[in-house]
Structure 1
Amino acid sequence: MLFTAEVRAQDAAAGEKVYAACRACHQVGPTAKNGVGPTLNGLFGRVSGKVAGYAYTEANKTAHLTWDEPTFTEYIKNPKAKIPGTKMTYAGLKDDQKIKDLIAYLHTFDSAPVTLIKE
């Protein structure tokens, strides 16, 4: 007997629905501002703890993670395990497809404005 599994690519529209859970704390888009959490504009490629005007924990400021897809995937599955001491209270997203979709959605804001802390 042969079984096949459906393989689905990243889907930004589906990721927007996943992002609904993030919206309470994080903003994206041209008018995004820091809230309970920092804006997620331009997330991929930036270093953790670097959005200007956001009060990060020392753990986030000193983690020195560069946000790429593998790092974000590990983080969003269990934020407190990836950055012990983070103030992010989200328990984690365990569904790999939902994570891929969320990443696709966040990539739509790669060039949206964000001000970073200069070293």
Structure 2
Amino acid sequence: MRFYRCLVAVSFACLLAGVAVAQEGDASAGGTVFKKCAICHVADTDTNKVGPSLHGVFGRTAGTHPDFKYSTAMVDAGKGGLVWDATTLRDYLHNPKAKVKGTKMVFPGLKDDADISNLLAYLKQYSP
């Protein structure tokens, strides 16, 4: 009986570790996902394109990157307390227009949670 309890405990711990890794994502795979974003954004340098630079996006208040003209909706979201972290970025990346109504970002969002996790891991490389 003791053996089976130990086996169940080890199996459960392995399952939880797998879930944590899945939520953290794979930065290399996220680089591939980022190609969908690279038309408008960069992450490895602090340079704006059609969209704001995503370099250092984690911890940034929405609508505040210097020298970028945001929609009023995005600026207002930032003034309302929207700060980019794993949770808020996950929501935004899933459906940008639902998270910030009136955003000028035209990308419809990513539907695959694994793609979002991988993209977040990729972006974290470029945040302090």
TM-score under structure 1 length normalisation: 0.84
In structure 1, distance between residues paired with 2:116 and 2:70: 24
C-alpha distance after superposition, 1:67-108 (max 9, x if no partner): 011111110111011101100000110100110000000000
Higher relative contact order (CA 8 A, sep 6+): 1
Which AA in structure 2 matches 1:79?
A: P
Alignment partner of 1:60 is 2:77 = no
Identity %: 44
Equivalences for residues 41-52 of structure 1 within 5 A: 41-52=55-66
TM-score under structure 2 length normalisation: 0.78
Alignment partner of 1:27 is 2:27 = no
In structure 2, distance between residues paired with 1:82 and 1:28: 21
In structure 1, distance between residues paired with 2:57 and 2:47: 14
Question: What's 1:117 paired with?
Answer: none
Tell me by how many angstroms 1:38 deviates: 0.1
SS of the residue 1:48 aligns to: coil
In structure 1, distance between residues paired with 2:103 and 2:114: 25
SS of the residue 1:92 aligns to: coil
Instruction: Give the gaps of 5 or more residues in structure 1.
Output: 112-119
Question: What's 2:107 paired with?
Answer: 90
Structure number with the higher helix fraction is: 2
Which AA in structure 2 matches 1:100?
A: S
